[in-house]
Amino acid sequence: MISTQEQDINSKQKDKKVIKCVVWDLDNTIWHGVLLEDEKVSLRQNIVNIIQTLDSRGIIQSIASKNERATAIAKLEEFGLEEYFLYPQINWNSKAASLKEVAKLLNIGMDAIAFIDDQLFELEEVKFSLPEILCINVDEIENILDMPVMNPRFLTEDSQIRRLMYVSDIERQNAEKEFVGTADEFLATLNMNFTISSAKEEDLQRAEELTLRTNQLNTTGYTYSYDELNHFRQSDNHKLLIASLEDKYGSYGKIGLVLIECQPKSWTIKLLLMSCRVMSRGVGTIMMNHIMSLAQSNNVRLVAEFLPNDRNRMMYISYKFAGFQEIDNNRDLVIFENDLTRIQPVPSYVNFQVIA
């Protein structure tokens, strides 16, 4: 069952807001003036530093602007800023509609988005339609870099190149759209290298970040601090595994984490999470089957905790597809068990490596 400590951790997590994407308006926000009306527009003071600093912290940025797309993109290129914005929504749709599209394309929750605009009407419309989004008046942006939600505790290797990893994702998605064949045939073209290893001390900053940032493909939502993870890493009664993935387009970074509590006759999966960026790559299934194989080779019973929320239904389905059966349900905490009779081999198109 879930411990009192983990209940406390989970409660604290509900109070933590992690901004993954800042979405900017353009006119009188990133620049002074209205692009389609004024003869000349000029960048807001300190805006380049703010954009570059957010980028270096691993916070993705996009645009929701009512403007003429080609003209606005050309102006961003002229200012040397176009590369910082992923999936810019520059059109005449409502800001709420544009923000929904950004969230869908980035595959993140609304509560992970901050929206910056100069128009009170636009901010109020977004607040009403999408209350989970953090709305910021442009008059307050001089303080944005000091806001706790914009300051991740650690700047990991993954966070510093996050935008570039998303750019690689866009290349993959475009290639997949153009590919003629089955999903497995496309995956076979990626030359994927998937690695699972015991977490080392240098992995713990990213591991903590994963527990804070990953919501959809997360079995329990438990969050663990660096010190707690370091304890599990050194504990004889726990296994802390971290996974990474790369393919011909580049590295996805460290994208998976598993915490297993090991008792002499049974193992309990306390946490299993995967980055939503690898949702369609099949590596979550490989990780689950690896855990099942480990349990089988150690001749132990394998159970798993699952704490449902409005975001992680996919992980419930993943457990069921992997042969886990529900054996208990107590105050929302579901306990699964796997009889270890349905362990699947690693697909031939994935180069899978386990590092002790």
Cα(310)–Cα(215) distance, rounded to whole angstroms?
10
E-strand stretches of the chain: 21-24, 31-32, 42-43, 60-66, 89-91, 113-117, 134-137, 192-198, 238-247, 250-262, 266-274, 301-306, 324-330, 333-338, 350-355
Mean pLDDT of 50-56: 97
pLDDT value, residue 11: 44
Between residues 206 and 9, which one has the greater pLDDT? 206
Does a structural domain hold residue 171?
no
pLDDT value, residue 2: 38
pLDDT value, residue 3: 52
Mean pLDDT of 63-85: 97
- Helices 95-106 and 120-129, packing angle to 10 deg: 60
Does position 47 have pLDDT exceeding 90, yes or no?
yes
Residue after which a domain boundary falls, among 150, 174, 207 = 150
Name which of 51-65, 154-168, 341-355 the model is least confident about: 154-168
Tokens of 45: 């003071």
Tokens of 153: 């505790």
Clarify whether residues 114 and 203 are in a common domain: no
Closest to 187 (Cα-Cα) out of 353, 318, 347: 347
Q: Model confidence at 15, in pLDDT bands (50, 70, 90)?
A: very low
Mean pLDDT of 17-46: 94
Does a structural domain hold residue 166?
no
CATH code for the domain of 145: 3.40.50.1000
Task: Give the domain range for residue 209.
Answer: 4-13+185-355
pLDDT value, residue 1: 35
Task: Please state the pTM of the whole predicted model.
Answer: 0.83
Question: Distance of CA 353 to CAs 81, 164, 172, 187, Å?
Answer: 39, 25, 23, 17
Tokens of 63: 């645009």
Does position 36 have pLDDT exceeding 50, yes or no?
yes
Does a structural domain hold residue 49?
yes
pLDDT in tens, 109-150: 899 999 999 999 999 999 999 999 999 999 999 999 999 999
CATH code for the domain of 243: 3.40.630.30
Clarify whether residues 114 and 223 are in a common domain: no
pLDDT value, residue 14: 42
- CA 136 from centroid of its chain's CA atoms: 22
pLDDT in tens, 327-348: 999 878 999 999 999 999 999 9
DSSP calls for 139-175? GGGGGGGGSGGG--S---HHHHTHHHHHHHHHHHHHH
State what percent of residues in the chain have pLDDT above 70.
Answer: 95
Clarify whether residues 142 and 23 are in a common domain: yes
pLDDT in tens, 171-212: 999 999 999 999 999 999 999 999 999 999 999 999 999 998
Q: Model confidence at 16, in pLDDT bands (50, 70, 90)?
A: low
Task: Please count the CA atoms within 13 angstroms of the CA of 223 that sit on its side-chain side.
Answer: 20
Does position 10 have pLDDT exceeding 60, yes or no?
no
pLDDT value, residue 156: 87
pLDDT value, residue 18: 83
Residue after which a domain boundary falls, among 125, 150, 175 = 150
pLDDT value, residue 8: 47
What element of type H or E holds 5? helix 4-14
pLDDT value, residue 149: 94
Mean pLDDT of 251-266: 96
Does a structural domain hold residue 160?
no
Clarify whether residues 223 and 327 are in a common domain: yes
Mean pLDDT of 69-76: 97
**Number of independent structural domains in the chain:** 2
Mean pLDDT of 69-89: 97
The mean predicted confidence, pLDDT, of the chain is: 92
- CA 38 from centroid of its chain's CA atoms: 39
Clarify whether residues 192 and 321 are in a common domain: yes
